[in-house]
Amino acid sequence: MFIINCPYCGERDQTEFSSGGEAHIVRPKQPTELSDDEWAEFLFMRKNIKGIQFERWNHSHGCRKWFNVVRDTSNDKIHAVYKMGEKPPVNK
């Protein structure tokens, strides 16, 4: 059970948060212009990495803000936490 440093509240127990899957998947601005395949890429395709993964987390039992986390899925080590819309502070 890890500790997440919420960019708005500070360090809190993992039980206060919910995971929202892979980060930096941008919803297409004009979905109607996309082919089925392109839309499916956005809709369904997600990575499941062993190692460094960029993910979305929500402080659901706290400030309810969404933000991004860089986590090593092999040992749960969190390398960075940053707000929505910000560039990752480590290389993606």
Please select the residue that binds Zn ion; options are 4, 6, 23, 69, rule is CB under 5 A.
Answer: 6
Verify binding: residue 90, Zn ion, rule CB under 5 A.
no
Q: Which is nearer to other proteins, 26 or 91 (CB)?
A: 26
Verify binding: residue 49, other proteins, rule CB under 8 A.
no
Q: DSSP secondary structure string, 38-76? A: HHHHHHH-----SSEEEEEEE-TTTT--EEEEEEETTTT
Please select the residue that binds other proteins; options are 7, 16, 20, 81, rule is CB under 8 A.
Answer: 20
To other proteins, the closest distance from the beta carbon of 68 in angstroms equals: 10
Please select the residue that binds other proteins; options are 51, 85, 87, 91, rule is CB under 8 A.
Answer: 85
Verify binding: residue 39, other proteins, rule CB under 8 A.
yes
Can you tell me the distance from the alpha carbon of 7 to that of 82, in angstroms, rounded to the nearest whole number? 6
Name every residue whose Cβ is closer than 8 Å to that of residue 52 and which is 6 or more positions away in sequence.
Answer: 70, 71, 72, 73, 79
